[in-house]
């Protein structure tokens, strides 16, 4: 694969950041400015110091979660809180690397749903496992997720036994988690049955929150696979050795080169573009897949190759992904530093912003912790729409959210989540010059430059007075000289509301 050797300007840098982080903040931009592509990638791909949120067990768990939750009576909410703590909030507070986007990638790949399990513990364990592997070894993750408690409960692995095999996990293991259903994947129905028999014996020990192998319900007969697996036989084993059959199954599956292709296609769709044509298959997927196999299924080298490829920086692809609801929410939270909103402290506790943001993303069909199907969110697998799926689902929710966070109505404090737009504008280089600061904002927030007409419209809003006359420049300058002047502050706030209601609604803010 050809490495990118073209100019390294703001365009390429922001493209890389938009694809690996959630949105680009002013601080992110300043941090990476002046670094080369390789230096940026060194930082973005190093997830070694990322914090791993703990799993709160039993009483300890209950107490800790209660501090975060509003409604102490809803078990479902406790579980959702677990999702927020172990997935959504870490995304909001993400370090400057690819880790959180990869957690979401694995969540969409190794799908489980938090509603399936009995407690938040399993949800937290599940996210902890994903987070442990972010850019690590795929084969090991595949093995570990196979006997992860949340997964055993979600796809009925715990109900699969020698008397009546339950095929649910065995099927998805091949169809969705490793081989896919592409032209090169030719496992058979008989392989699904055989794999189910290999996997018999895993149960959940709810007392210790762990998976356990129960040899007495394991199928100890030999399992013969189809010619796709070269007629491989996994010989049946008695006693605790039976669990080594699971290891052998994962090894056998990962010996199929199709696994590397399937996973590289998925990574490509996640980071680059949904449409994979013959040229992409040959020029990108094939070499990446070879690299993946050669590295023993290490993900990081594949990501580095992909994100430093000439192809990745093709100008035609910039802005070519429609933001998912979670993309949209997390990016907005980070760009406007909503996580530090003073309104987020009392009376409802630190969960207010994450709760409402995750709730709204759910209303837009991307509920964190709960993809709608075991294949993940349709936007990542459904040909030919792919990310265009979000077009329809996101329209209403995004508008409602923008309306809410820009509103000046503070009558209901529990409802109030608002962007501190004054601070945002103050942090820009030329806040007194509307033409300049609007251009700087668009440059930061948009993956593509908007047209002259929309920008003129925003400039007009900046100069449109509510009750205090004057151009933006005049009013802003006076306000800065007297920030405690109520009338001036209100005027500024109203103009900013008008501007950002439009600015954040433009289609350019919906792509990345």
Partner 1 sequence: MNRRTFLKKTSATLPFIWGLPSFAISHASFFENISLQGPYQDRVLVLIQLEGGNDTLNTIIPLHQYPVLQRVRKNIIIPENKILLPKATVGFGFHPSMAGLQRLYDDKLLSIVHGVGYPDPDFSHFKGTDIKITANIAKGEGSDHCLSGWVGRYVESQYEGYPTGFPKKTGDGPPAVRIGNVSPKITSGNTVDLGIGFNDLSDFESLAPDFPDSPAFRTLGGQHVTDITSVVKRVKHYIPGITSAVGRQKNLSKLYPERKKNLLADRLKLVASLIGGDLRSQIYIVNQTGYDTHGDQVLRTDTTKGLHADLLRDLSEAIVAFQDDLRLMGKLDNVLGMTFSEFGRRIVSNESCGTDHGTVEAVFMFGTRLQKSFVGDLPALPEMPTVNDNMVYHTDFRAVYASVLKGWFGLPEEKIKTILPTAPPERLDLFRS
User: 3-class secondary structure for 132-166?
Assistant: HHCCCEHHHHHHHHHCCHHHHHHCCHHHCCCCCCC
CB of 381 to partner 1, least distance (A): 7
User: How many angstroms separate the CA atoms of 421 and 406, rounded?
Assistant: 8
Which tokens belong to 247?
């290891």
Phi and psi (nearest 5°) for 144?
A: -70, -40
Among 39, 67, 189, 222, binds partner 1 (CB under 8 A): 189
DSSP string, 152-215: HHHTTGGG--SSS---HHHHHHHHTTTSTTSTT----HHHHHHHHHHTTTEEEETTTTEEEE-G
Binding mask 410-449 for partner 1 (x = CB under 8 A): --x-xx-------------------------------xx-
Contacts with partner 1, 115-154, as mask; x by CB under 8 A: ----------------------------------------
Binding test (CB under 8 A) with partner 1, winner from 389, 419, 472, 476: 389
Nearer to partner 1, 345 or 399 (CB): 399
What is the DSSP-derived secondary structure letter of residue 323? P
Minimum CB separation of residue 77 from partner 1 in Å reads 8
Is there binding between residue 193 and partner 1 (CB under 8 A)? yes
Residue 119 corresponds to which tokens in the numbers above? 């407690």
489-508 residues in contact with partner 1 (CB under 8 A) are 501-502, 505-508
Q: Which two tokens stand for residue 215?
A: 């040899």
Among 29, 35, 237, 404, interactor with partner 1 by CB under 8 A: 404
Indicate whether 347 belongs to the interface with partner 1 (CB under 8 A).
no
Site for partner 1 in 169-188 (CB under 8 A): 171, 175, 181, 183
Determine if 167 is a binding residue for partner 1 (CB under 8 A). yes
In angstroms, the CA 25 to CA 21 distance is 10
Q: Where are the beta strands (DSSP E) in 39-89?
A: none
Secondary structure letter of residue 389 according to DSSP:
H
Q: If binding is defined by CB under 8 A, does position 240 make contact with partner 1?
A: no
Helix and strand totals (H; E) in the chain: 25, 4
Q: Residue 496, exposed/middle/buried by CB under 10 A (0-12, 13-18, 19+)? A: buried
Using CB under 8 A as the criterion, what x/- string covers residues 445-474 for binding partner 1?
--xx-xx-xx-xx-----------------
| Residue 355 found at the interface with partner 1 (CB under 8 A) | yes
Is residue 296 a contact residue for partner 1 (CB under 8 A)?
no
**Residue with Cβ nearer partner 1 (156 or 337):** 156
Considering the complex, state which of residue 137 and residue 501 has its C-beta at the smaller distance from partner 1: 501
CB burial of 122-145 (b: ≥16 within 10 Å; e: otherwise) equals: bbbbbbebbbebbbebbbebbbbb
Give the nearer residue to partner 1 in terms of CB position, either 187 or 479: 187
CA distance 292 to 300: 9
Map the footprint of partner 1 across residues 303-322, applying CB under 8 A: 315-320, 322
Which residue from 485, 477, 401, 394 is spatially nearest to 434, judged by alpha carbons? 477
70 binds partner 1 (CB under 8 A): yes
Strands 202-205 vs 233-234: parallel, antiparallel or unpaired: unpaired
Of the candidate spans 130-138, 140-148, 167-175, 475-483, the one that interacts with partner 1 by CB under 8 A turns out to be 167-175
CA 153, CA 168: separation in Å to the nearest integer?
11
Angstrom distances, CA of residue 116 to CA of 150, 153, 154, 195: 8, 7, 6, 23
Asked if 381 is part of the footprint of partner 1 (rule: CB under 8 A), the reply reads: yes
The stretches of 216-308 forming alpha helices (DSSP H) are 244-254, 257-271, 278-280, 286-294, 299-307
* Window of 57-65, 369-377, 422-430, 486-494 that interacts with partner 1 by CB under 8 A: 369-377
Minimum distance from residue 192 beta carbon to partner 1 (Å): 8
Q: Kindly state whether residue 168 participates in binding partner 1, applying the rule CB under 8 A.
A: yes
Q: Does 166 bind partner 1 (CB under 8 A)?
A: yes
Q: Is 201 in the site for partner 1 (CB under 8 A)?
A: no
Q: Least distance to partner 1 from the beta carbon of 123, Å?
A: 19
Q: How far is C-alpha 119 from the chain's CA centre?
A: 23
**Choices 42-50, 123-131, 259-267, 395-403 (CB under 8 A): range interacting with partner 1:** 395-403
Q: Which of residues 322-341 bind partner 1 (CB under 8 A)?
A: 322
CB of 300 to partner 1, least distance (A): 27
Q: Which stretch binds partner 1 (CB under 8 A): 41-49, 57-65, 94-102, 379-387?
A: 379-387
Total interface residues for partner 1 by CB under 8 A: 75
Smallest separation (angstroms) from partner 1 to the CB of 294: 27
The dihedral built from the CA positions of residue 177, 181, 186 and 190, taken in this order, carries a sign that is: positive
């Amino acid at each position: 694969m050809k490495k990118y050797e073209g100019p390294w300007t703001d365009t390429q840098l922001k493209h890389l950041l938009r694809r690996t982080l959630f949105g680009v903040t002013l601080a992110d931009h300043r941090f990476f400015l002046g670094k080369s592509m390789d230096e940026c990638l060194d930082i973005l791909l190093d997830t070694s110091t990322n914090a791993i949120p703990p799993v709160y067990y039993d009483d300890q768990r209950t107490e800790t979660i209660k501090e975060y939750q509003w409604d102490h009576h809803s078990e479902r909410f406790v579980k959702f809180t677990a999702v927020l703590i172990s997935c959504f909030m870490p995304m909001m507070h993400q370090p400057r690397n690819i880790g959180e986007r990869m957690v979401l990638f694995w969540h969409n790949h190794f799908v489980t749903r938090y509603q399936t399990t009995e407690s938040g513990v399993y949800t937290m364990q599940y996210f902890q496992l994903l987070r442990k592997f972010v850019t690590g070894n795929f084969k090991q993750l595949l093995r570990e997720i196979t006997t992860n408690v949340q997964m055993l409960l979600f796809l009925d692995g715990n109900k699969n036994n020698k008397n009546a095999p339950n095929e649910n996990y065995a099927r998805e293991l091949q169809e969705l988690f490793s081989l896919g259903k592409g032209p090169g994947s030719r496992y058979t129905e008989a392989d699904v049955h055989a794999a189910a028999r290999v996997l018999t014996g895993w149960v959940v020990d709810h007392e210790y929150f762990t998976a356990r192998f129960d040899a007495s319900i394991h199928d100890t007969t030999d399992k013969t696979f189809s010619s796709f697996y070269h007629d491989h036989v996994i010989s049946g084993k008695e006693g605790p050795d039976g669990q080594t059959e699971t290891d052998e199954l994962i090894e056998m599956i990962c010996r199929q080169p199709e696994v590397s292709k399937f996973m590289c296609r998925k990574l490509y769709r996640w980071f680059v573009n949904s449409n994979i044509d013959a040229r992409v298959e040959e020029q990108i997927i094939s070499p990446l897949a070879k690299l993946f196999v050669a590295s023993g299924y290490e993900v990081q080298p594949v990501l580095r190759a992909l994100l430093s490829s000439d192809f990745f920086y093709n100008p035609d692809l910039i802005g070519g992904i429609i933001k998912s609801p979670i993309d949209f929410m997390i990016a907005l939270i980070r760009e406007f530093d909503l996580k530090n909103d003073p309104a987020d402290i009392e009376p409802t506790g630190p969960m207010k912003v994450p709760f409402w943001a995750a709730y709204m993303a759910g209303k837009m069909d991307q509920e964190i912790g709960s993809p709608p199907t075991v294949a993940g969110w349709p936007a990542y697998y459904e040909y030919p729409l792919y990310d265009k799926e979000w077009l329809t689902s996101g329209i209403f929710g995004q508008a409602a959210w923008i309306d809410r966070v820009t509103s000046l109505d503070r009558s209901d404090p529990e409802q109030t989540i608002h962007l501190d737009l004054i601070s945002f504008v103050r942090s820009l280089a030329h806040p007194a010059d509307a033409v300049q600061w609007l251009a700087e904002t668009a440059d930061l927030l948009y993956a593509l430059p908007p047209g002259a007409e929309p920008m003129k419209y925003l400039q007009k809003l900046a100069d449109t007075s509510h009750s205090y006359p004057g151009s933006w420049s005049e009013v802003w300058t006076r306000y800065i000289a007297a920030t405690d002047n109520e009338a001036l502050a209100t005027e500024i706030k109203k103009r900013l509301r008008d501007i950002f209601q439009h600015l954040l609604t433009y289609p350019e803010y919906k792509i990345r």
